[in-house]
Chain A
């Protein structure tokens, strides 16, 4: 879509919009923008490059903004500098082995479930949506994903503690905010990385059992989207449920009687209908 728009702009003699992308299939993590207030467009498990125009109503206006975070300076239009992520990995996101001399791969059996669970975390593509979604601009999900990938494998366990401390320190140094358990990151993560390990990283906050989910439908996005993964207490009258961190308003107003909601993100107000709670 942006390609086509740019073709038109260039032909009209206008400056095209700069945006990053490479693989166009949701794996390289290069693309990313906030679409209608939702990182990567808000479709479950989807990167921006996989959002199809067919998911928007004809004629609707689509707002696109770059990731907003102090740690990701904007370079131009939708292009941002995510170098801070590389720096976090450099601080310890590896097993300290050099090339050569590794033992036979099968000499170290690894529990299949542990390997699968490590793989779940390793699937992170480093896109930065978690940071963009977080009211605190925290990189906790990204950092925790790497920590948990390696800590679940015997090869990585040796350095697990040192690694976790170094990476969290580096995260702070790079200007990311602290995690205060809003869990917006999980909702918008295109690889559906689980935040369970990130709660493990915050020893002060006990891990909670899975919470009921609200599924909301929005006229402009049309697909059912897991917009919110926090419990909505039984309500008797219309009220605000705010998940404001520091920073701009970021919340949801629900009318439990009619089921209607309006959400407000940093960039405006939109309305929708609450379809069901599960």
Chain B
């Protein structure tokens, strides 16, 4: 099967306009005849559910938490990008487009990225209209800050709680549609499969997490906005419930999975401490605006940070990358920290940390200013570590954070399964091999507010508007398969907890498929993962039954999917014989340890087709054309 990304022709500036014009429209009076399932209530899910309902479609919306407002988007801290150029510092749609393509290390689709940059301004307008309390200057106008990978200030923020405020904005729009009866909300439901009829996505199977009952829902189209798979590493900055289940099950039903090996490791997290830890906490990257990253010049220096004189501090990012300094993109900053620690310059008890120091910023701007900008982040740091970042530098280390890879989608954000749309972090579309800070929120809302509402119409206009029903044979069969799998997990009755398996998988992937990868390690992981999976199915212990509220069962189901998905992640990493963005193969680096791409052989998106658990998936390539931003060796020097 040839991948058709359906990219419109013509100059890039006019593609989205023309495409919108070319898309068939659904007559306003007919919209209510179509029912659309939206899985997920994060920025992508809530914004699309609300927007589709406003247009008149009937929407069913699902999430596994107790309320749509809990989706993981709530945790995003730093901000959201938009090419508004309010500070008049040289930003433009083209520059945001350029920065994103370059930041993604030339592995993203130009047309999608351009559209994202074009829409970015509307997102801010929309959010302000909803009452999102963005930070403001005394003039009353919106404030901006800069973020990694950019030399302009284009990031809008609401203290360190931007994701929360944007999500509550989308949630309020969603709530309004729920009250109006246009969206039916189903919280505490876990989608466990997509139902296909005649090759089209026609519904989903869910488990009602409160009662354990299996439920089927039919619709004219299914939209997945189920977030990323960063938790495959067990320890990550994602919420503990984030998982790959929805996208993985869709993959098993025919949706291609693209670029799973593009995972982002975030440079500024609170370092690991203790065995019992269940997740890592991110400190927003915005901290790198004012904080300076350093390690002692001497290896194994055990002096307290404040006792180390200026001359014996190595501000390695500023030295190595004079023009971007502490604001280099995440992959570059993460690898640099790893390198410092590998070479013995690490600080803190575990020696797996570097300093992020605010001393100079406090001296320059005063404590009050720094407090206003980062107060809640400092407080969070202090709560977790018991140390006061106003008087001593923070210790930070990289951690798994974001998934650039995801289900393959075309320009309409439709997967290879007709009628199955994928948006937000769950798709692979806009960030290439590395995502710039503050761009995920932008993408989730762009997809939800401004892309799908148009493109789904194009699909529906060509499809039937006859009422859909969940009586079909396909619904019965898929539901039986889902139930059988749950029963199988419960029947194992072994000795190890699902969490324990997850931990083992996570550690294996972090060691061999984390910040730096090589063929040897990847091959080892490829042997080990099926073994862990086999043991899981023989030895996992899940207490309770399937007919009740059972959090262990939920967890085990998610871990089972991670154990299958992890293998694809490693395969993709092994096949990509180059380094790009978040994918760093030790065999492929420049003499000064920068990622070395191989554009001749790997300038494509790798879309994998499922062939069975443990079986080699089929690789499909979507060639990437760079008509506007010519690939060069990324340089932040």
A174 close to chain B: CB less than 8 A: no
Q: Mark out the residues of chain A between 25 and 63 whose CB falls within 8 Å of any chain B CB in the assembled complex.
A: 25-30, 45-46, 50, 52, 54
A50 and B383: CB pair below 8 A? yes
Contact residues in B for A28 (Cβ distance below 8 Å): 65, 70, 72, 74-75, 239
Contact residues in B for A102 (Cβ distance below 8 Å): 122, 125-126, 128-129
A259 close to chain B: CB less than 8 A: no
Q: Please give me the residue from chain B that is nearest to A119 by CB atom.
A: B133
A22 close to chain B: CB less than 8 A: yes
- Contacts A4-B276, A14-B543, A104-B125 given; does A94 touch B552 at CB 8 Å: no
B165 and A122: CB pair below 8 A? yes
| Shortest CB distance A164–B (Å) | 14
Pick out which of these stretches binds chain A: B168-176, B407-415, B527-535.
B168-176
B497 and A11: CB pair below 8 A? yes
A86 and B175: CB pair below 8 A? yes
Q: Determine the distance from Cα of A66 to Cα of B179 in the docked complex, in whole angstroms.
A: 29
A109 and B140: CB pair below 8 A? yes
- Contacts A10-B552, A45-B379, A112-B136 given; does A95 touch B66 at CB 8 Å: no
A30 and B70: CB pair below 8 A? yes
| Shortest CB distance A161–B (Å) | 16
Contact residues in B for A108 (Cβ distance below 8 Å): 128
| Shortest CB distance B49–A (Å) | 11
Contact residues in B for A245 (Cβ distance below 8 Å): none
Q: Please give me the residue from chain B that is nearest to A110 by CB atom.
A: B140
Binary A-proximity of B222-260 (CB < 8 A = 1, otherwise 0):
000000000000000001110000000000000000000
Interface centre among A14, A23, A122 (most CB of B within 10 A): A23
B67 and A86: CB pair below 8 A? yes
Binary A-proximity of B133-152 (CB < 8 A = 1, otherwise 0):
11111111110000000000
A156 and B131: CB pair below 8 A? yes
| Shortest CB distance B103–A (Å) | 24
Binary A-proximity of B172-184 (CB < 8 A = 1, otherwise 0):
1101101100000
B549 and A27: CB pair below 8 A? no
Contact residues in A for B450 (Cβ distance below 8 Å): 99-100
Contact residues in B for A103 (Cβ distance below 8 Å): 125, 129
Which bucket holds chain B's interface residue count?
A: 35 or more
A149 close to chain B: CB less than 8 A: yes
Contact residues in A for B161 (Cβ distance below 8 Å): 27, 123
Q: Mark out the residues of chain A between 73 and 87 whose CB falls within 8 Å of any chain B CB in the assembled complex.
A: 75-76, 79, 81-83, 85-86
- Contacts A20-B66, A105-B128 given; does A115 touch B136 at CB 8 Å: yes
- Contacts A10-B543, A24-B240, A155-B128 given; does A81 touch B171 at CB 8 Å: no
Contact residues in A for B72 (Cβ distance below 8 Å): 22-23, 28
B449 and A99: CB pair below 8 A? yes
| Shortest CB distance B31–A (Å) | 14
B179 and A82: CB pair below 8 A? no
Contact residues in B for A153 (Cβ distance below 8 Å): 131, 133
Q: Please give me the residue from chain A that is nearest to B53 by CB atom.
A: A98
Q: Mark out the residues of chain A between 1 and 30 whose CB falls within 8 Å of any chain B CB in the assembled complex.
A: 1, 3-4, 6-7, 9-11, 13-16, 18, 20-30
Q: Determine the distance from Cα of A99 to Cα of B136 in the docked complex, in whole angstroms.
A: 23
B51 close to chain A: CB less than 8 A: yes
Q: Determine the distance from Cα of A217 to Cα of B635 in the docked complex, in whole angstroms.
A: 55
Q: Determine the distance from Cα of A118 to Cα of B383 in the docked complex, in whole angstroms.
A: 25
A94 and B130: CB pair below 8 A? yes
Contact residues in B for A24 (Cβ distance below 8 Å): 239-240, 278-279, 281
B54 close to chain A: CB less than 8 A: yes
Binary B-proximity of A84-98 (CB < 8 A = 1, otherwise 0):
011001111111111
- Contacts A75-B549, A99-B449 given; does A90 touch B68 at CB 8 Å: no
| Shortest CB distance A195–B (Å) | 19
Contact residues in B for A27 (Cβ distance below 8 Å): 74-75, 161, 164
- Contacts A119-B133, A155-B129 given; does A109 touch B67 at CB 8 Å: no
- Contacts A10-B497, A28-B239 given; does A155 touch B130 at CB 8 Å: yes
A256 close to chain B: CB less than 8 A: no
- Contacts A95-B131, A99-B54, A99-B453 given; does A75 touch B68 at CB 8 Å: no
Binary A-proximity of B68-84 (CB < 8 A = 1, otherwise 0):
11101011000000001
A25 and B240: CB pair below 8 A? no
A25 and B84: CB pair below 8 A? no
Contact residues in A for B130 (Cβ distance below 8 Å): 94-95, 97, 155
Q: Determine the distance from Cα of A97 to Cα of B175 in the docked complex, in whole angstroms.
A: 12
| Shortest CB distance A120–B (Å) | 9
- Contacts A94-B172, A106-B142, A123-B161 given; does A22 touch B54 at CB 8 Å: no
- Contacts A98-B54, A122-B165 given; does A91 touch B179 at CB 8 Å: yes
| Shortest CB distance B559–A (Å) | 13
A94 and B175: CB pair below 8 A? yes
B65 and A112: CB pair below 8 A? no
Contact residues in A for B51 (Cβ distance below 8 Å): 98-99
Contact residues in A for B126 (Cβ distance below 8 Å): 97, 99-100, 102
B136 and A16: CB pair below 8 A? no
Q: B69, B158, B551: which contacts A86 (Cβ < 8 A)?
A: B69
- Contacts A22-B65, A22-B70, A27-B74 given; does A75 touch B210 at CB 8 Å: yes
Contact residues in A for B159 (Cβ distance below 8 Å): 119, 123
A3 and B500: CB pair below 8 A? no
| Shortest CB distance B213–A (Å) | 14
| Shortest CB distance B273–A (Å) | 11
B124 close to chain A: CB less than 8 A: yes
Q: Please give me the residue from chain A that is nearest to B548 by CB atom.
A: A76
Contact residues in B for A90 (Cβ distance below 8 Å): 175-176, 178-179
- Contacts A7-B499, A23-B74 given; does A83 touch B67 at CB 8 Å: yes
A126 close to chain B: CB less than 8 A: yes
A11 and B495: CB pair below 8 A? yes
A150 close to chain B: CB less than 8 A: yes
Q: Determine the distance from Cα of A104 to Cα of B124 in the docked complex, in whole angstroms.
A: 8
Contact residues in A for B176 (Cβ distance below 8 Å): 90, 94, 96
B549 and A79: CB pair below 8 A? yes
A242 close to chain B: CB less than 8 A: no
Q: Determine the distance from Cα of A203 to Cα of B133 in the docked complex, in whole angstroms.
A: 26
B189 close to chain A: CB less than 8 A: no
Q: Determine the distance from Cα of A11 to Cα of B494 in the docked complex, in whole angstroms.
A: 10
A111 close to chain B: CB less than 8 A: yes
Q: B47, B65, B139, B500: which contacts A7 (Cβ < 8 A)?
A: B500
| Shortest CB distance A19–B (Å) | 8
27 cross-chain CB contacts under 8 A: A22-B240, A23-B70, A24-B239, A24-B278, A24-B281, A25-B282, A27-B164, A28-B70, A75-B210, A76-B548, A79-B549, A90-B175, A94-B130, A95-B129, A99-B450, A102-B125, A103-B129, A105-B127, A109-B136, A111-B136, A112-B139, A112-B140, A122-B168, A123-B161, A150-B131, A155-B129, A156-B131
A16-B551, A111-B140 given; name 15 further pairs at CB < 8 Å.
A4-B276, A13-B541, A18-B549, A22-B240, A27-B75, A50-B383, A50-B384, A83-B66, A83-B67, A86-B178, A90-B176, A92-B179, A108-B128, A109-B136, A112-B137
Which 4 A-B pairs have CB atoms at the shortest separation, nearest pair first? A109-B140, A94-B172, A102-B129, A102-B125
Q: Which residues of A contact B (CB under 8 A)?
A: 1, 3-4, 6-7, 9-11, 13-16, 18, 20-30, 45-46, 50, 52, 54, 75-76, 79, 81-83, 85-86, 89-100, 102-106, 108-112, 115-116, 118-119, 122-123, 125-126, 149-150, 153, 155-156
